[in-house]
Amino acid sequence: MRIDSVHFRNRGSMFLRLFSAFAFPLFLLFSISSVAQMPTPAAPIIDAKSYLVIDSKTGHEIAAFNKDQPLAPASLTKIMTTYVVFKALKQGQITLEEEVTVSEKAWRTEGSRMFIEVGKRVKVQDLLFGIIVQSGNDASVALAEHIAGSESVFAEMMNQHAVSLGMHSSNFRNATGLPAENHITTTHDLATLSRAIIQEFPEYYKWHAIKEFTFNSIKQNNRNSLLWRDDSADGIKTGYTEAAGYCLVASALRDNMRVISIVLGASSTKSRSNGSQALINYAFRFFETRLLFKAGEEISNARVWKSEKLYSSLGVLEDLYITIRRGSYNNLQSQLDIPTAVMAPLAAGQPVADLSINLDGEELLRIPLRALEDNPMGKFWQITKDTISLWFE
């Protein structure tokens, strides 16, 4: 794919625009795939009140139904519970080997359990396994109390993290997902949270693939049946209450592409598993995620007036990926939108131009191209020379 067109902002003389055109060479950005474009059918119809499947790396929405409908999340709540615990670990507030004293409230918490005992001391890591693998409500309350002093204060922390992540339709009242008034979230928000868990805490995320965990001589299996039926699946969490129905947030990794599927309100364990599998298979079969540009590589360059260096390299500061219909890579087009005159000084990281990526007339993304290094003001003679040239403009 090449830069197919260059658009210069602001009106300028024919001389300047021609000069600028030569200053921004059009060159090959990355290799072109030979894969033929496949037709893309509609997403599968599944038994759920709401669902969403996205690419984890880009956040691209592949298929959705009622993604912003507030619903009870049941034990999917524990994804946020573990997020808060992971944050505390990363910030050094607690350690994995630290021991937690089990309160009577934690011990008495109803629903799924890891069977901790009141007054006993349990390591933070064991409690995390009890939450992630066994969906232990007792473990969730024990960790919430240990970190925040009480479950209600911990719920406030959950909501603060939700706001910072952009989960604008979520409200958490407890650390377990047991029914509570106005304890809600959406598939959209859960996708945001799941991406954050995977990207921020890869060293802890891997625990979501554990199939069984034994504590207090009691072995329990992970309730996520996809871990047994799909070798690419490695998380994340199941949930069920009568109000919420059967829920599952699943993630799978194939050929360096990761997708996340969220299903809320299915009618059975079989429905949530089959629906999640169908969404995951659909995403992998009909979509692909490609690396467009590497961080720090020159994508184009800009003529910089009154500068120490005549040209500045432009690029992106982080690897940039795009999710597209499988086989459509050949049809991507790009347009560079750049000022007619770029003036010194430029600081490394400063946005200079905009690059848009389009497919079949639709803009898929627009990114700023940034200066990859400093380009300070030139010496007096260079400033004078460029000033005179610009007078003609």
Q: Are residues 242 and 112 in the same domain?
A: yes
- Please write the tens of the pLDDT for every residue from 160-186: 999 999 999 999 999 999 999 999 999
Q: Does 306 lie in the same domain as 174?
A: no
Domain match, 230 and 282 both: yes
State the pLDDT confidence band at 37, using cuts at 50, 70 and 90: low
38 assigned to some structural domain: no
pLDDT given for residue 39 in this prediction = 75
In this structure, the answer to whether residues 220 and 265 fall within a common structural domain is yes
Residue 107 lies in a domain: yes
283 and 303 both lie in a single domain: no
DSSP state of 228: H
The domain boundary residue, chosen from 247, 263, 289: 289
> pLDDT category, 21, cuts 50, 70, 90?
very low
CA distances from 147 to 56, 79, 122, 124 (A): 29, 16, 14, 10
What's the DSSP call for residue 45?
P
Note the pLDDT tens digit of each residue in 206-257: 999 999 999 999 999 999 999 999 999 999 999 999 999 999 999 999 999 9
Whether residue 259 sits in one domain with residue 113:
yes
Instruction: Assess whether pLDDT exceeds 70 at residue 15.
Output: no
172 and 258 in a single domain? The answer is yes
- Whether the CB-CB separation of 128 and 147 falls below 8 Å is answered with no
Q: Are residues 278 and 329 in the same domain?
A: no
Angle made by CA atoms 264, 132, 88, in degrees to the nearest 5: 110
- What pLDDT score does 354 carry? 97
1: its two tokens: 């794919």
Q: Which of 254-263, 311-320, 336-345, 381-390 has the lowest mean pLDDT?
A: 381-390
Distance of alpha carbon 227 from alpha carbon 253, whole angstroms:
12
The last residue of one of the domains, among 289, 318, 338, is 289
Give whole-number Cα distances, 77 to 35, 130, 368, 376, in Å.
Answer: 41, 14, 36, 51
pLDDT at 34: 39
Q: Which two tokens stand for residue 88?
A: 């505390």
Catalytic residues: 75, 78, 135
Which residue, of 239, 271, 289, is where some domain finishes?
289
0.75 exceeded by pTM: yes
Other beta carbons within 10 angstroms of residue 163's beta carbon come to 10
State the Cα–Cα distance between residues 258 and 126, nearest whole angstrom.
Answer: 27
Residue 186: inside a domain, yes or no? yes
374: which 2 tokens?
């400093």
Q: What is the pLDDT of residues 315-338, one digit of tens each?
A: 999 999 999 999 999 999 999 999
The answer to whether residues 178 and 241 touch, using CB atoms and an 8 Å cutoff, is: yes
Q: Are residues 173 and 94 in the same domain?
A: yes
Specify the 3-state DSSP secondary structure of 126.
helix
- Within-domain flag for 204: yes
Is 294 contained in some domain? no
Q: What is the CATH number of the domain that holds 231?
A: 3.40.710.10
Instruction: Please report whether residue 375 resides in a domain.
Output: yes
| Residues in Cβ contact with 289 at an 8 Å cutoff, skipping those fewer than 6 apart | 55, 57, 58, 60, 256, 257, 321, 322, 323, 324
Radius of gyration of the chain (CA): 26
Indicate whether 37 belongs to any domain.
no
Look at residue 145 and tell me whether its pLDDT is greater than 50: yes
Count of domains in the chain?
2
Q: Which two tokens stand for residue 367?
A: 């990114």
| H/E element, 218 | strand 218-221
Q: Residue 5 is encoded by which pair of tokens?
A: 């067109």
Shared domain check, 334 and 205: no
Q: Do 244 and 112 lie in a common domain?
A: yes
Per DSSP, the three-state class of 214 is strand
CATH number assigned to the domain comprising residue 365: 2.60.410.10
Residues 326 and 211 in one domain: no
What does 241-300 look like in DSSP terms, one character per residue? ETTTEEEEEEEEEETTEEEEEEEEEESSHHHHHHHHHHHHHHHHHHEEEEEEE-TT--SE
Answer with the residue of higher pLDDT: 5 or 29: 5
Mean pLDDT, rounded, for 255-267: 98
Q: With respect to residue 203, please indicate whether it lies within any of the assigned structural domains.
A: yes
- Note down the domain range covering 228: 50-289
